[in-house]
Amino acid sequence: MKRLYFDILDSTNEKAKRMLRNKEISSDTLIRALEQSSGKGRLGRSWLSKKGEGLYLSIIKEVDINKNPSILTVAAAIAVFKSLESFDVKDLGIKWPNDILIGSKKLCGILSELIEVDGRFFAIIGIGINVNNKSFSEDLTTKATSLFLENVYIDMMDLMDNLELSFEEVYNKVSDRWNLEKIVNFLNDHLIGIGNTVEFNYKGTKFLGIIDGINADGSLRIISEGRLMDIFSGEITLKGLYK
Ligand code: BTN
């Protein structure tokens, strides 16, 4: 994979989009910034991106739009999980759709975006990992953690190298249907909240349900009011997770 490093960017995802549109990069590129001035999170949130605190990168892959590109987000979550596991990080879990937690606190977030350039589609998979953060603001302190706060030391460059390899490995597997099943099983084995009550939005209405698992297309299966519902996007609130 080709790598591009920057000291500071608004957002590695935004930079990736601009460079794709300008034909400055193509598939299989990794963009990293030491710092982001407008780091983006999911659902219009921002992502804290101070220099030296986290690993901020985006991976660009051309996708076949007919082959469920959202599986790439799932692949990224598994890649981060496996990479951290290989550094012996304990108590890891995956919260749907793609947060990596330690215990009940978020360590890593993933923001995947899809853009079209001249009829070709590219997935931009933005990954943010809290590495050296010594503390979080009052509203985040019960919800977020960093490797430092968990007493784990991993050199950021080593983490990035390992993560890239891990991503390629999982990516190659999800392109194959037989392996996809194994990948989904792996995800379900590490999914936080199976059997737990969850609050979610479905077509604008709030529901309570029980998490059943993740489907092969990356959607979340919830049992609510006696029936199965598949949730493709949005946010779920696990009852009793953050206390
Ligand atoms: C989330 O959990 O809300 C997703 C956070 C994603 C953050 C990463 S940091 C690198 C990339 N560039 C961004 O602007 N966002 C993603």
* Torsion sign, CA atoms 112, 116, 119, 122: negative
Confidence band of 24 (pLDDT split at 50, 70, 90): very high
* Torsion sign, CA atoms 199, 200, 204, 205: negative
188 dihedral zone (left: phi>0; alpha: psi -120 to 50; beta)? alpha
CA 53 – ligand 1 centroid, Å:
14
End-to-end CA distance of the chain: 41
pTM: 0.93
Look at 13-22, 38-47, 226-235 and tell me which has the smallest mean pLDDT: 226-235
CA 126 – ligand 1 centroid, Å:
5
The ligand 1 site (C-beta within 6 Å) comprises 11-13, 36, 39-42, 45, 47, 56-58, 99, 109-111, 126-128
Least Cα distance to 191 among 108, 80, 78, 84 occurs for 78
Residue minimizing CA distance to atom 2 of ligand 1: 109
Q: Residue 178's pLDDT is what?
A: 65
Confidence band of 72 (pLDDT split at 50, 70, 90): confident
Confidence band of 243 (pLDDT split at 50, 70, 90): very low
Residue in 55, 56, 73 to alter for ligand 1 test, most ligand atoms within 8 A of Cβ? 56
Over residues 127-153, the pLDDT tens digits come to 999 999 999 999 999 999 999 999 999
Helices (H), 129-223: 156-174, 177-190
CA 227 – ligand 1 centroid, Å:
34
Q: Residue 172's pLDDT is what?
A: 86
Residue minimizing CA distance to atom 3 of ligand 1: 41
Higher pLDDT, 150 or 205: 150
The contacts of residue 191 (CB under 8 Å, 6+ apart) are: 93, 94, 95, 96, 211, 213, 214
Higher pLDDT, 90 or 179: 90
CA 45 – ligand 1 centroid, Å:
9
Confidence band of 66 (pLDDT split at 50, 70, 90): confident
CA 189 – ligand 1 centroid, Å:
25
Please state the φ and ψ torsions of residue 9, each to the nearest 5 degrees: -135, 160
